[in-house]
């Protein structure tokens, strides 16, 4: 019975099926395939590092380094992991709640991951509004440190 609630229902106006609110929210978020190779690698690293903080398992750190070592086109994988870790650490320190990371193999992005990818895209394109977007995500207290960390990761 519960499945029927979340299945799509026909929209009488458009003649197309409507998505229930949870499905619509998931459909509106970008998926991993919508990013370039560098962003996908960075996202995976952020997820491994987020899992390391959440679980305290050192295997997550090892997985991050191994993933970066095996990623094509990465010249300095330890530096990339360090910069991703710095970004996670700085953002975590300035938020009242934990960052939400999906598992590394997940194709969908959490709201926090979507924002981090947005920051990375703005930094990589060198758009001047990075500071204001960072401020919206982490607040004024961590704006400078977060902006530096995003820029460092973006140019790696």
Q: Domain for residue 81, yes or no?
A: yes
pLDDT per residue over 27-44, tens digit each?
Answer: 556 777 778 889 999 999
In a domain, 146, yes or no: yes
Q: Give the 3-state secondary structure percentages of the chain, helix then strand then coil, rounded to 5.
A: 65, 5, 30
Q: Is residue 77 part of a domain?
A: yes
Does a structural domain hold residue 102?
Answer: yes
Which range marks the domain in which residue 129 is found? 34-154
Band of residue 23 on the pLDDT scale cut at 50, 70, 90: low
In a domain, 79, yes or no: yes
In a domain, 64, yes or no: yes
Domain count, the chain: 1
Split at pLDDT 50, 70, 90, the class of 139 is confident
- pTM confidence score: 0.79
Report how far residue 40's alpha carbon sits from residue 7's, in angstroms, rounded to the nearest whole number.
Answer: 30
């Amino acid at each position: 019975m519960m499945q029927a609630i979340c299945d799509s229902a026909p929209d009488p106006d458009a003649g197309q099926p409507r998505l229930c609110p949870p499905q619509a929210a998931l459909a509106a978020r970008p998926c991993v395939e919508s990013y370039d190779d560098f962003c996908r690698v960075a996202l995976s690293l952020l997820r491994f590092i987020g899992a390391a903080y959440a679980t305290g398992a050192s295997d997550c750190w090892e997985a991050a380094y191994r993933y970066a070592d095996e990623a094509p086109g990465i010249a300095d994988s330890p530096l990339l992991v360090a910069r991703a870790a710095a970004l996670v650490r700085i953002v975590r320190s300035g938020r009242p709640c934990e960052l939400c990371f999906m598992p590394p193999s997940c194709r969908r992005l959490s709201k926090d991951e979507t924002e981090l990818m947005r920051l990375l895209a703005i930094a990589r394109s060198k758009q001047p509004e990075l500071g204001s977007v960072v401020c919206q995500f982490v607040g004024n207290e961590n704006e400078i440190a977060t902006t530096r960390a995003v820029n460092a990761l973006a140019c790696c």
